[in-house]
Amino acid sequence: MTIRDWAEDDRPREKMQRKGCQSLSDAELLAILIAIGNKDETAVELSRRILKDCQDNLNELAQLTIADLCKRFKGIGEAKAITIMAALELGKRRRTSDILERKKITSSRDLFDLFESQLIDLPHEEFWMGLLNGANKVIEVKRLTQGGTKQTVVDVPMLLKIALEKSAQSVVVAHNHPSGQNRPSHEDEQITRRIKTGCEAIGITLLDHIIIARGEYYSFSDEGKM
């Protein structure tokens, strides 16, 4: 039985038209993206299997590459895999846009919300900075460096140069641990001290450094290490 043979109310597209996006499961939304399954599965059945393989977690799905999707799931070719990845990326960007509209940073949780969508799915380390004005409102968010799976090298003079050029009053920084371990390494503590010292030398405040790891985070400020 194909999706065309289903009752109209059960077909994902028709269901969305009649009842709205919120009425659809993750598998049904994914099925709309891929449109066609394979000779053994409808698009919905294939979508359910993909999600089950990812522990029914969209963040786990976002960890997969285009090559992973094509290799692991019969019926997913390059075009479908690209469509899935594009939809997930749009979701991340929408969340970032919503956060930037709020702008003011008042806690480490605000920083986590600001940086998480940029860092959560990466298989390698990246180091980002946020530039804030005197009211702790975000001027700009910028990636500084991209590294390997264990560490990325931070150019502190470049960070300070950018902060001065943007007339920032304070700075926040964040990086990710692809391993999922959110405790700081000795190198993380060293770079935090270097950034703080550099900021103080030019009259800018380093408010916090957070480490993001699979939905959790560590805040140097919350731990009294700033």
Of the candidates 179, 178, 211, 177, which has an alpha carbon nearest to the alpha carbon of residue 192? 211
Domain 103-219 adopts which CATH fold? Cytidine Deaminase; domain 2 (3.40.140)
Q: Where are the domains of the chain?
A: 3-93, 103-219
Distance (Å, whole) CA 188 – CA 209:
9
Distance (Å, whole) CA 51 – CA 34:
13
Tokens describing residue 167: 């007339």
Using alpha carbons only, how large is the chain's radius of gyration in Å?
A: 21
Distance (Å, whole) CA 142 – CA 62:
22
How many other C-beta atoms lie within 10 A of the C-beta of residue 23? 12
Burial call 91-123: b when 16+ CB within 10 Å, e when fewer:
eeeeebeebeeeeebeebebbbbbbbbbbbbbe
Distance (Å, whole) CA 85 – CA 79:
10
Q: For the whole model, what pTM was predicted?
A: 0.61
Please list the pLDDT of the chain residue by residue as tens digits (226 residues): 556 666 555 688 888 888 888 888 999 999 999 988 888 888 889 999 999 999 998 888 988 999 999 999 999 999 999 999 999 888 877 766 655 555 788 999 999 988 988 888 788 899 999 999 999 999 889 999 887 655 667 889 999 999 999 999 999 999 999 888 889 999 999 999 999 999 999 999 999 999 999 889 999 999 998 8
Distance (Å, whole) CA 192 – CA 209:
7
